[in-house]
Each structure stands twice: as structure tokens, then as C-alpha cells.
Amino acid sequence: MNATEFQLPLTEYDFERHFDERFTIEWMQDNWKKSFLFGAVYVVLVFGGQ
């Protein structure tokens, strides 16, 4: 058996079927600054705790 003969069936989860792409894009555009804030807090905690 080679790699082309063995394929797993693709499954789709319920949350993937109901994913609202437009809402998610708008949310990320409004909240992208939070990721930098949380990243900076993480860096301070990790490197400050050494």
C-alpha cells in the first residue's frame, strides 16, 4: 500500500459549518491591537520571571 491508496475521509465539524467568515474578519479588524497587548504582557511575564 502506498500513500496514494490510503486517504482519510475529510470530516467537517459543526462549528466549521456555521462559521461566519464576515463577522470574524470584522472582529479581527476591530481588535487586532489586543493581540499585541497580550503578546507584550506574555513576553514581560516570561522574561521578567526568569
Which pLDDT tens digits describe the chain residue by residue (50 residues)?
Answer: 566 677 778 888 999 999 999 999 999 999 999 989 999 999 999 999 88
Structural domain of 24: 14-48
- Within a domain: 4: no
Cell numbers placing 41: 504582557
Domain-located, residue 9? no
- The pLDDT, as a whole number, for residue 2 is 63
Q: Rounded to an integer, what is the distance from CA 9 to the centroid of its chain?
A: 23
**Number of folded domains in the chain?**
1
Is the residue at 7 inside a domain?
no
Residue 22 in domain = yes
pLDDT at residue number 1:
57
The C-alpha angle 41, 43, 49, rounded to 5 degrees, equals 100
Report yes or no on 40 lying in a domain: yes
8 domain-assigned: no
- DSSP codes joined into one string, the chain: --TTT--PPP---HHHHT--HHHHHHHHHHHHHHHHHHHHHHHHHHHHT-
pLDDT of residue 26: 96
- Residue-level pLDDT at 10: 85
